[in-house]
Structure 1
Amino acid sequence: MRSKFKWIFTLLVAFTMQFSFAQEKTVTGVVSDELGPIAGANVVVEGTTRGTTTDFDGNYTIKAKQGEALVITYTGKKPAKIVIAAANSYNVSLKDDVVQGVNVIVVGYGKTSKEAFTGTATQLVKENLEAKTVSNISQALRGEVAGVNVITDSGAPGSDATIRIRGFGSVNGNSAPLYVVDGAPYSSDISSINPADIENITVLKDAAATSIYGSRGANGVILITTKQGKVGTSVVSVDFKTSINSLMLPGYDIIDSPEEYIETAWSSLKTKGMVLGFLDPTAYANANLYGTSTEAINPIYNIWNVSGSQLIDPATGKIANGVSRRYNPTKWSDAAFGTGYRSEANVQFSGGNGSTRYASSFGYLDDQGYAINSNYKRYTARINLEHKPKDWLRVGGNMAYTGSRYTNSSDSEGSAGSSGNLFALTNTTPAI
């Protein structure tokens, strides 16, 4: 009887051990989204500290018991939950979480959620940037971020806009913000960056947000992240744009003929003679219309076939009968401005596999300005590479080339009201 009891007890213990062992098993699967496998997704057994992350191919392996639940999370995606049943493999497809994706911002050396971030940062909407036709990314910031002033000093093609964040004072004696491109401070011409290569832009505005950059971030920081490849997805993109540069705003109401201009000049001289009490204001106006005095017009600009003293009929204040032009002067605005044509082409390649991601682009821009002899040409090439030979080692590189050429009229960027400003020059010069 005792021997029989021992055998029953032994079988019961063996059956219990085998049943317990069968409950915990190795579960595998792939985590992906609509673009392909997701690397770095978190897979955790609900209610425990057991967890793992997916590799570059989205694969995961974890120990779990039948009846337990796996919770899969990834930044910018809605969490997923699956209950372990008899199967040993479970593939999961994550959906985009629009609200959560918008609240994830790039700051400093990494990323954080908007709720955990204590500073003031604004991430620009990518679609708004892509909708703008600009040759310089600084021009695209206009109207996108509250508290950021974008001032256009010149309308020349490719010119940088002046950007002011947090006022105009700095310990460096410079009011310009710090640009950081792919994690590295950028000190070159911002126009060298092709807007088509930019994935997102984040503007850091207050001291808490810019503190890790020290005094260099005293005037705010603009973080620019260029496009990178995605694992499991190969993309070839070709983009071509063409447009025109022309003056759409109405011009000032100005004197539109040499005759009207010279008649107005004669009338003003006659009025001056009357105010000063000259005996013959008409003779004063005739003598000083063209001459060598400081208030007279240089005789070399006289386009009529008579001298200045015979040009105006005193009775009417108009051009005298029989007076004609010796030549027809050029309309200065026609000579200074015209319709410019803008052409832009971009070709991009991106993709990746289990251990390597890449993104490369080639761009060409020919931007002709509204003012004559103003043109900006740019050739760009960029390649982003990231390789992960080991789970604990990631190596990346970012190389870019830009070749550009400015052609600007010497009178296109002068101060307002001076002869160095084409708009002032064409609106104030006689014989327009």
Structure 2
Amino acid sequence: MALNTLVQSNVKYGYSDLRFVLFEIAEWLNTVGWEIKYQFPNAKEKFDAQGGYSFVAVPRGDSQNMFDSELIALKMATKTVSGSEFSYQTIEAHVTPQLQCDFSNGQVIQDARGVTSGNLGPDYDYTYTEAGVEHRANTGDGLFFDTKVVKGRLKAHPVSWRASSTEHGLFLAIWLEGDEHRDPPTQSWFVVQRPVDQSDGQPLREPDADGSRNPIFCMYGISNESNTRSAAHQAAYEKYAQENGIPYTQTLGSTSSGPQSSITPSPDATKQGAIALKRFVVREKDVNAPGKQYDAWRNDRDMNAIINLRQQQARIEMRDIGVASIEKAGSRYAILFPSKLNTPRFRFKHELDMVAYTSADVISSGLPVNVHVYGEKDPETQEKLYRRYIAIQPTGPFNTNLIMLHLIKSGIPESEIKK
């Protein structure tokens, strides 16, 4: 079967102001089946020196998407944080049912923990004390993207974004250009979509009230050195990590300035909080509230790991099959789709098809991969149809660790691939 919809994608480079990034993302969304329900300011000319920008977008519910039965919304906002030494811009992002949104003022309500509904943030659940003040961190809280790591100097470190949309999902990535040597390279991304059947690629959406609960999943990644846990609350995190089976960097001891952690390379897959890779259920047919954010890379109670965050082997064993063959051992590699999806109530034989992942040492960011999946064929000629995915930034420096890819094109004839 062929992918049931056109893939629409876009990529833009060279921004020095996050307000223009979000404004142009909103403009693009308006062309691919989303409606802007709130926007402030509503024109670039109205931006002032230190002001912010925000928008709330919802799927239009027309033939271009499959979200009209289970209504969701996307809010993104940027503001400037003024510090004693420098100012820098940040982005917050929320993916949530529309019930939690106020379209008159662009606000998304907070839950009982004080976390904004559907927030895409890196935090975990624990309490720590810093400068004599007790702070509470909540899972999923925090910023989606910030430029503190480059002191807000975006003309020296410009920002890029890329996105793709289908009728069953949306992907967006934002990253700092020329940041490949940082550990980790600075980037943030998310995908929100209906999962697809592993056998035929069809999105899960049953109109029957007694049918599937029609879950909509969100997975997101945040890689930012500025999110690294400070020594002042590393010990508090270690206690939480021990209780929840999370790998972490062991504290060696304490001094007058606070806990001191090992300076050897960390076994912690998140690099002491600098990398977050989380997932949650945005909503279901009969659940009008987002679920709690969980690590996407770690098994938890009633939650399966759906992706491998660590260094991984992706090369496929191939052998020389003839004198004229160019297929040698290790010359091919696998890309995988996040799978083993579940909600608190059910497990699904479905996966996320708008993103894929592999080892960063087999492909570099910005390179495309053509794959034939789900048996997709031209219904008239029966010719195989391929999809094209493109790699974003890796999670490690010097092109190491995990690298994500996202769908940018579908329905490519095999004859075109083999030219």
TM-score range, shorter chain: under 0.3
TM-score by length of 2: 0.21
TM-score by length of 1: 0.20
- Larger CA Rg, structure 1 vs 2: 1
Greater RCO structure (CA 8 Å; 6+ sep): 2
